Chains A and B, each alone.
Chain A
Amino acid sequence: MPKLQLRSLRELLFPLFQIIIFVLGASLVTSIVVLLLALLLRGTRTDTDLLVAVISVLPQTLIDGITLGFLYALIALGYTMVYGVLEFINFAHSEIYMVGAFAGAELALTLQSAQVLGVIPPLLYVVLAVVAGMIVSGLLAVTVERVAYRPLRGAPRLVPLISAVGVSFFLQDAVRLFESFNRNAFYLTYPVIPEFDRRIIFGSIATASGGTMDVGISVKVIIFIVAAVLILIALNYLVNATKLGTSIRAVAQDRLTASLMGINVNQVIAMTFLIGGSLGGAAGVLAGIKAGTIDPFFGFIPGIKAFTAAVLGGIGNITGAMLGGITLGLLEAFVASYLTLFSKGALPGADYAAITAFMILIGILIFRPSGLLGERVGQKA
């Protein structure tokens, strides 16, 4: 018994260390790159002191990047797990993420109208909303698999792909219609929790325009990051230390042999969709709480970027998805914050951040399709 407990503890803590080290490392690398650029180009600019401008925005950019990174990581896991077992890209996953956000919002608004929201501790509300999102999204993912993908399992690769795109559009409009009838508006706003909007200020930092700026992090963002990390650890434990996880990895490795070993492949695939969908749902609720307002079309772009992250890390590889997510999130935040500064306003950062993400996708597919951590795709005999 003690040996098993030790192994489990290690399984839990090791991924936590991995995540922390990777996040810190990636942050360090991107920060150093930006600082070096600032030092090199400092002399060329007379309107602002480039170094001071860069440093003043750095802490906030890092926080934004890490938050975005965890969001992409959570969504990317859904894509990567499904690809792992089925070699199929579930394009409807972005809408499963969106449905999760709406499920959480509906629960929150119901609690609010039942006057319960003010009574329960805020963290309990977050847990309830996330669980609601996970359940709804997980079940939706399993249903979609049964209805839209399983009947097409023998068909050429393109057919289930198109089916997935179709499901994606269907879900967008289904949610829009449902909310139009239900609440006569399809933009839903998560109820405001004053405790979440509080900012914890670490200190002040000098800005290039001469004043100072507070460096802080809002409670919402802390909750987001902590929740994301907890979910990632739980997933890691599930996949590496449980029987179900071993079955999933077996099916991902070789479906036919796994079935010969007595694994119920259909059931494992359904469970994979359940887990992937739940992760998407959790991401949706957390993103919704952070953003405040959600609409049925808000899943589309983060979904594509998360897919890019999954490909970046090596599609089919779970650690790769986390890696890719955090890398992409940091890159996007840095481009968004600094491109305007470095290009003297010629290239607006907000637009080019998205373009950068997609350029990375194209680049990866051209130069290293297996991704950063991907294994060479062996020929199935």
Chain B
Amino acid sequence: MKTLKLLSLLLAVTMAVTACGGAAAPTAAPAAAGGTIKIATQTPLSGGLAAVGEGMKNAVQLAVEQNSGPLKAMGFTVQVVPFDDQAKPEVGVANAKNIISDPDILGVVGHYNSGVQIPSSEEYHGASLVNVSPANTNPKVTDRLYLEVNRVCGRDDIQGVVGEQFALNELKAKSVYILHDKTTYGQSIAEFFRKAAEKDGLKVLGFEGTEEKANFDPILTPIQAANPDLIYFGGMFDQAGVMFKQARDKGIKATFMGPDGLDSADLVKIAGDAAKGMYYTTVAGPVSYYPEAAKFATDYKAKFGKDPEPFGAQAYDSTVILLKSIEKAAKDAGNKKPTRAAVRDAVRATKDFKGLTGSITFDSKGDPAIAKYFVIQVGTSDPAKWGENKAVKTLDIPAPPPPSK
């Protein structure tokens, strides 16, 4: 009995100390007058897509470090709260519920996967919490016309057409075999590519979806027999890399092409020489393309020891937009912590914001009024040189009008 009492007392004391210690940790500085403002990030930090997800999170942290001066001067402490959505919709939604329950979080920078962003943003919408997305390209993201959802990148309904036009006009392809990964993002952009191809007379020899990650033989054999000029894979680099490698191993000679989901150094890490010479479209150019981003690249390398990942610059811009909007909303509230609704409105009102990736103005649905689209060719099978891939075509295309109800 005595030992039990002693043990439970010890346990209670330990828990109390941990609770106090835990509460003390986040506020690094002595209690600031204005309070704490938090920016949440939701990206995949584990799993096959972790490389890009980590890169986005790091870019957000760098942006907060470099741009939270004005807010700090007002007396606020600014923090980044990272969440791992594992590229899974259920996890994204669960995290979103956690995020909205923390009143200090005034904005979310994320996600990487449209299929995760769409259900998670239903939660943000319910709590008037603004979400600035660096990388979600599915049209449905903004077509729901939520005030809370904005993105700094382009859309798949245009990206798919850009890819198809390039294949038709530049690559002079006569036939294409389209594959997708059955996710919201992959299937949707594959559909856009197919619609455009059918409209322009580019022969679609096949359209198949697969979740297979290891053994692509059953899918590749019919492709080999159909002998297309081009294979388009709507999906992510971790799956595409394996498929392209196995396709070359089987002797398939078609050109490979895909959307921005293929944009990662891990693609050549997995596929090696199979990926050399292939093309991908993206809404985020290589860092070397943006003149303003040179300093960001050096700062990122100095802080994290490696080159920025794709969508890193976009994540940086998203964060700065968010910070500037919070500043404005705070000033309007008399230098006090603003409400989420005020921040949301300030973000949507962003006009001619000069970021690393260009000038951004949000239109009535949260799309950038004019977005850049790139077609990039993979120049080398060295993962370290991924940022040096050349953009063979760059387009500025305005966002489409909101869908008629």
For the complex, give the distance between the alpha carbons of A349 and B216 in Å: 12
Query: Known interface pairs A294-B214, A345-B206, A350-B219. Does A213 touch B270 (Cβ–Cβ under 8 Å)?
Result: no
| Binary contact track A333-347/B, C-beta < 8 Å → 1, others 0 | 100110011000100
Q: Does A124 contact B (CB under 8 A)?
A: no
Known: A350-B210, A350-B218. A213 touches B242 (CB 8 A): no
Given A197-B249, A207-B227, also A187-B206 (CB < 8 A) = no
**A268-308 toward B: CB 8 Å interface, digit per residue (1/0)?**
00000000000000000001001111110010000000000
| Distance of B261 from chain A, by nearest CB (Å) | 15
Q: How far is the CA of A349 from the CA of B207 in the complex (A)?
A: 11
Q: Give, as a whole number of angstroms, the nearest-CB distance from B183 to chain A.
A: 15
Q: Which residues of A contact B215 (CB under 8 A)?
A: 68, 287, 290-291
Write the A8-46 contact mask toward B (1 if CB under 8 angstroms, else 0). 000000000000000000000000000000000000000
Q: Which one of B22-30, B45-53, B89-97 contacts A?
A: B45-53
Q: Is A242 an interface residue, CB under 8 A from the partner?
A: no
Chain B nearest CB from A350 CB (Å) reads 5
Q: Do B209 and A53 touch (CB < 8 A)? A: no
User: Do A64 and B225 have beta carbons less than 8 Å apart?
Assistant: no
Q: Nearest chain B CB to A42's CB is how many angstroms away?
A: 17
B239, closest chain A residue (CB): A293
Which among B206, B219, B238, B248 has the highest number of chain A CB atoms within 10 Å? B219
Do A57 and B48 have beta carbons less than 8 Å apart? no
Bound CA span A213–B241, Å: 23
Complex Cα distance A294/B46, Å? 16
Proximity string of chain B (80-101) to chain A, C-beta cutoff 8 Å, 1 when within and 0 when not: 0000000000000000000000
A189 near B270: Cβ-Cβ < 8 Å:
yes
Q: Mark B205-244, 1 if CB is under 8 A from A, else 0.
A: 0111110111101110110111100000000001001100
Contact B222 A57 (CB under 8 A): yes
Residue B331 interfacial (CB < 8 Å): no
The count of residues in chain A whose C-beta lies closer than 8 Å to any C-beta of chain B is: 47
A332 at the interface (CB under 8 A from B): yes
In the complex, B350 has a CB within 8 A of chain A? no
A192 at interface (Cβ–Cβ under 8 A)?
yes
- Does A56 contact B222, Cβ atoms closer than 8 Å? no
Q: Which residues of A contact B242 (CB under 8 A)?
A: 291-293
Say whether B334 faces chain A, with CB atoms less than 8 Å apart.
no
1/0 per position for B27-65, CB-CB distance to A under 8 A? Answer: 000000000000000000011101100000000000000
| Smallest Cβ-Cβ distance to A52: which chain B residue | B225
Among A76-84, A214-222, A244-252, A360-368, which stretch is in contact with chain B? A214-222
B221 contact set on A, CB distance < 8 A: 57, 60-61, 64, 333, 336-337
A180: Cβ under 8 A from any B Cβ: yes
Shortest beta-carbon distance, A289 to chain B, in Å?
A: 12
Residues of A within 8 A of B246 (CB): 291-292
By a beta-carbon cutoff of 8 Å, the part of chain B in contact with chain A is: 46-48, 50-51, 206-210, 212-215, 217-219, 221-222, 224-227, 238, 241-242, 245-246, 248-251, 269-270, 272
Q: List 16 A-B contacts (CB under 8 A).
A: A60-B221, A189-B269, A192-B272, A207-B225, A209-B227, A220-B249, A290-B215, A292-B245, A293-B241, A333-B221, A336-B221, A337-B221, A348-B208, A349-B218, A349-B222, A350-B219
Tell me the A residues contacting B by CB distance below 8 Å: 53, 56-57, 60-61, 64, 67-68, 180, 184-187, 189, 192, 197, 199, 201, 207-209, 211, 213-214, 216, 218, 220, 287, 290-295, 298, 332-333, 336-337, 340-341, 345, 348-351, 353
Other A-B pairs beyond A187-B270, A213-B227, 6, CB < 8 Å: A67-B217, A68-B215, A187-B238, A211-B227, A348-B209, A350-B208
